[in-house]
Amino acid sequence: MRPELDETHDPALASWVESANAADADFPIQNLPFGRFRRPQATEWCIAVAIGDQALDLLRAGLVDTDDMNRLMQADVASRHALRRAISRALRRGSAGADRLRAWLVPQADVEMGLPCRIGDYTDFYTGIHHATNVGKLFRPDNPLLPNYKWVPIGYHGRASSIVASPRPFERPSGQFKLPDEPAPSFGPTRRLDFELELGAFVGMPNALGEPIPMEQAEAHLFGLALLNDWTARDVQTWEYQPLGPFLSKSFATSVSPWIVTLEALAPFRVPFERPAGDPQPLPYLDSVANRRTGAIDISLEVALQTAAMRDAGSPAQPLMTSNFRESYWTLAQLVAHHSVNGCNLQAGDLLGTGTQSGSAPAQGGSLLELSQGGKLPLRLANGESRSFLEDGDSVILRARCERSGFRRIGFGECRGTVLPARVRAG
């Protein structure tokens, strides 16, 4: 199953919220992503959709009957489609209810955006084959991909409690690492802090324990996508990850953008999923006609960096790289089918990270580990600074958009995080 085109995708639709009609708006009426905001001095979170530079409080506007995003997300596909149509009609230019709804619009800049839902579990996959190849070459130049990579979607169980909403900053983590020329490991703030450009898929409809989700139904269990930055302490990771994988090198913070772009909004940007000639085809439980026909999504991704010196000088963030999610080696449906094939029960609000989405060219690395070739070739920035890995005060900004002739541009907003100094010093 996949979302079909309907009246909500009509590129001629305009909104009575004028900021949504700008050609470069991330959140036109054809998008309608979901998130949660909190008014100043308030304690409760409100469910909203983004429209232009505004957020519409859906419960107070009478468009939903709950402020529990997880409850809304677990609705079936037909109910989600009906809600999207109702919101779209209410926000269209000429809507009879516009005057009533204006009272429940709030500028996004005036409220606190939180995590878009309660995240119970977080699984991070490794679907970016260019990233896997680039990193593998640093350690295994002659055999960068492990034998299982092209057969099974690799993933690990991450830490949900330390996922934070953009633009919340985080402290540089401390941990144990071993320097190449030292006989024993050291402890202290990481010296090789990195970003990872990812997308995060949010589970909507749950499945029961012991009930695998077949490929034909997998996308019906997903609510939508957000940007994800899986911050990583590379020196800690190198020392700890054998034999059980990432632990403290990643569990200190993961940033997510505050708006979930629904699969319905992304329907115009579906493209065929194809494996390179000579690569093994997926096993039957990871294959379907629909997945081959439209399993991939054309999403342009980019990363920018703003150092403290740039910020002090009033300079904008400097673009570092671009890539596209359509090059992912595994599709969203395959992640859901594989995750549940053993009977694992996915729940509304669970987050599935895609893994780092690098491009095929050297300049398209989705992490500094790739862009600086493991720190050997520091990046020269336009203001004269250089970076092998992130320094205190650095802000990393992830952005994404979908564009196709005959349809409105769909954006994801931004996922921003700023590195603060470590709280724990070497000792």
**At residue 53, what is the residue type?**
D
In terms of Cβ atoms closer than 10 Å to its own Cβ (0-12, 13-18, 19+), residue 309 is middle
Beta bridge pairs of residue 401: 300, 411
Phi, psi dihedrals of residue 102, rounded to the nearest 5°: -55, -30
**DSSP-H helix ranges across 74-227:** 77-91, 98-102, 129-139, 215-218
Longest Cα–Cα distance in the chain: 74
Q: How many degrees, rounded to 5, is the angle at CA 347 between CA 217 and CA 351?
A: 90
Please say if 131 is a catalytic residue: yes
For the chain, percent helix, then strand, then coil, each to nearest 5?
20, 25, 50
Catalytic residue among 9, 130, 131, 339: 131
Cα 31 to Cα 25: distance, rounded to the nearest angstrom: 10
Residue 261 CA, distance from chain mean position = 10
Beta-sheet pairing, 197-203 with 254-256: unpaired
- HSE-CB for 170 with a 13 A CA cutoff: 28
Cα 59 to Cα 81: distance, rounded to the nearest angstrom: 17
Contact status, residue 44 vs residue 69, Cβ threshold 8 Å = no
Q: Coil, helix or strand for 100?
A: helix
Instruction: Tell me which residue of 179, 208, 206 sits closest to 192, measured CA to CA.
Output: 179
Contact status, residue 35 vs residue 50, Cβ threshold 8 Å = yes
Cα 125 to Cα 204: distance, rounded to the nearest angstrom: 18
Question: Quick one: tokens of 398?
Answer: 């992830």
Instruction: For tokens 């996915």, name the residue.
Output: 346
Catalytically annotated residues: 131
